[in-house]
Structure 1
Amino acid sequence: MSEASLLNDPDFRVPGASRGLFDVFRHRYLLTLLLKKGVATRYHGSVLGWVWSYVRPGAQFLMYYLVIGVILQADHGMSFFPVYLFAGIVAVNLFSETLRNTTNAVVDNASLIKKIYLPRELFPVAATGVALVHFLPQAALLFIVALLCGWTFGWLQIVAFVIGTLIIVLFALGLGLFFGAINVAYRDARNFVDLILMFSTWASPVLYVWNLVYDRAPLWLYHVYMSNPITGAVELFHDAFWLPLEPSIARPDNFLVYVLIGFAISLVTLMIGQIVFRKMEGSFAQSL
């Protein structure tokens, strides 16, 4: 068969060709293996193992609560400020771990990428799955704390929690695909991600309330702030676990509009990240 007829054969596919994130669904078994590997090696050789999934957010919460709530007394008059604070910390931790894992996913699997071909998107998607697995203990701890404080189950709260988690995952995965591809050729990308993560806690209402931004920032800056996907996700976590405990607290006007904008930004970020990733993945093996 000639080369021309071979290329016109509908069953012929160029070796190494990828359909992007759609290929992840076609290689679910490989994704499962990578996910199991990531979970198994996370705390390999650690004495405490999975206990660290509880210790780290607990220590982070304790530090912020002592400084913000006790020393500075900036609890904003909330009776359940610990729940408000912990809900925001859990949301931001999911974003931080997902973005950090996906940014390093390709480089961390350099030995495998240089030996065989498989859809490169499997690595950041598996890294996202690992972040979600380690997010579950934190979410469970938040759920228990909220219950002990008098939180009652409601479907609206569950929906808010799920949507908030989805926004964080989509946004972090999109950024991770973008910076993960750049990180293969330029390791500066990892340092840039560290800067994003450093500001992420302060650029969303985790340690303070949204009213402070509304009262002190220009209106245009407030709109930008509220349109931030992480801000919307953190507020959805607050709606899920903290607002039922303090229903009299005022919520942002047009909050649903901001959530929809944040969700749209997350989708656009995912699309841009996928485009950049696909354009650069052909040189991953050589660069690594």
Structure 2
Amino acid sequence: MDVCNETTTEAVESFPAPPSVRLSEVWRRRLANDRAELVRFWPVVQNMVVTELRVRYQRSFMGFLWTLINPLLMMLVLSVVFSSLMRIEGGGGSYTLYLLAGMVPWTFMAGAVTESSVCIIMNESLIRKIYVPKLIFPLVRVLINLITGMLSLAALFLLLVPLGARPSAAMLFLPVAVGLIFAFTLGLGLLVATANTFFRDCGHLVGVFIQAWYFATPIIYPVTQFEESQRWRFWLNPAFYFIEIFHDILCKGAWPPLSLVLTAAALATASLGIGYVTFKSNEDKMVFRL
């Protein structure tokens, strides 16, 4: 009897433990799979972006030029109202240039986040019919707004000289600035796309939040309008760092401070990481909420 028990105990103790899978390895595998799927479905992404841009302007006389005219007209109206009627100055330079330099990145970010909030719901029929990685839907919305934002930035370059600005070496930093705000916006897009799929009220709240965020960000007014003791409040606004980078490059013709760039990079990394983890953790449940 004792021999049997000893043999059983030895067998249990010698039985190998199940292999443990580290959480980091799971997410590394998911990243690799998503990278491979994005490469595989990249023609689908391109087709969706091109089709959306064509449909948006196909019956318009001006066509694709409206992607340039719309933001310019809005910027012109705001510039006249705030510089002439309300006597707001541009912090030592042209107020119109200050306004345009902030409106271009903000319009991209606000449009991408707003459209991303409904991207999963709007593509319900496609998701139910065929397999398409759900990750591409917020990515498509961000890419569409990025293209229109780049066209608006190109239009702004045409106005730099008439507005009193001069080309500078700091403009070489613009691709980095665009990459930072792209990563930050994509992370926010993944977050709101996930939240609105499970809680439809979030789609309505996103518009209200974006409007309030707009007025809390120094776009239509410069930071210099406030006293030094009050400017710390802007540091709590994540969008402040990205907008200020564009202001430094386009308005001042100066390289943005390293602290500003590092903070923006940290915010972009955190936003993209949190958005990706949130989206992928709930991706398989989304179809049951549509």
TM-score range, shorter chain: 0.7 to 0.9
Asked if residue 153 in structure 1 is aligned to residue 155 in structure 2, the reply is no
Corresponding residue SS for 2:117: helix
Greater mean deviation of Cα atoms: 271-280 or 193-202: 193-202
Distance 1:209 1:90, change over 3 A: same
Aligned twin of 1:186: 199
SS in 2 for 1:32: helix
Measure how far apart 1:79 and its partner are.
4.2
Corresponding position of 1:241? 250
State the one-letter code of the partner of 2:86.
L
Q: TM-score, normalised by structure 1?
A: 0.81
Q: 1:124, 1:21 → 2: CA distance?
A: 14
Following superposition, which runs of at least 4 residues in structure 1 exceed 6 angstroms of deviation?
Answer: none
Give the equivalent residue in structure 2 for 1:275. 277
- TM-score, L = length of structure 2: 0.81
In structure 2, the residue matched to 1:224 is: 236
Deviation string, structure 1 residues 168-211 (Cα, Å, up to 9, x no partner): 21111111101101212222121221123102322222111223
Task: Show the counterpart of 2:131.
Answer: 117
Contact 1:101 1:131 in 2 (8 A): no
Aligned 8 A contact 2:68 2:151 in 1: yes
1:27-75 CA-to-partner distances (Å, cap 9, x unmatched) read: 2222222222222222243343223212321222122112210001111
Q: How far has the Cα of 1:162 moved from its partner?
A: 1.9
Two-structure CA RMSD over aligned residues (Å): 2.4
Larger Rg: 2
Q: Which runs of 5+ in 2 are unaligned?
A: 1-28
Q: 1:258 aligns with which of 257, 260, 285?
A: 260
Q: How many residues align?
A: 260
Unmatched segments (≥5 aa) in structure 1: 1-16
How far 1:77 moved relative to its partner?
6.2
Deviation per CA, 1:207-228: give whole Å up to 9, x if none.
Answer: 1122344525274x34324xx2
- The answer for the alignment partner of 1:129 in structure 2 is 143
Distance 1:106 1:214, change over 3 A: farther
1:164–1:232 Cα contact (<8 Å) kept: no
Distance in 2 between the 1:115 and 1:72 partners? 54
Q: Which amino acid aligns with 1:133?
A: I
Separation in 2, partners of 1:49, 1:99? 24
Give SS of 2:154's match: helix
Mapped contact 2:67–2:148 kept (Cα < 8 A):
yes
Amino acid at match of 2:136: L
Q: Is the 8 A contact 2:68 2:148 kept in 1?
A: no
Task: Provide the residue aligned with 2:176 in structure 1.
Answer: 163
Partner of 2:15: none
Partner Cα separation in structure 1 for residue 86 and residue 61 of structure 2: 36
User: Cα distance, 1:132 vs. partner?
Assistant: 1.3
Please identify which structure carries the higher helix content: 2
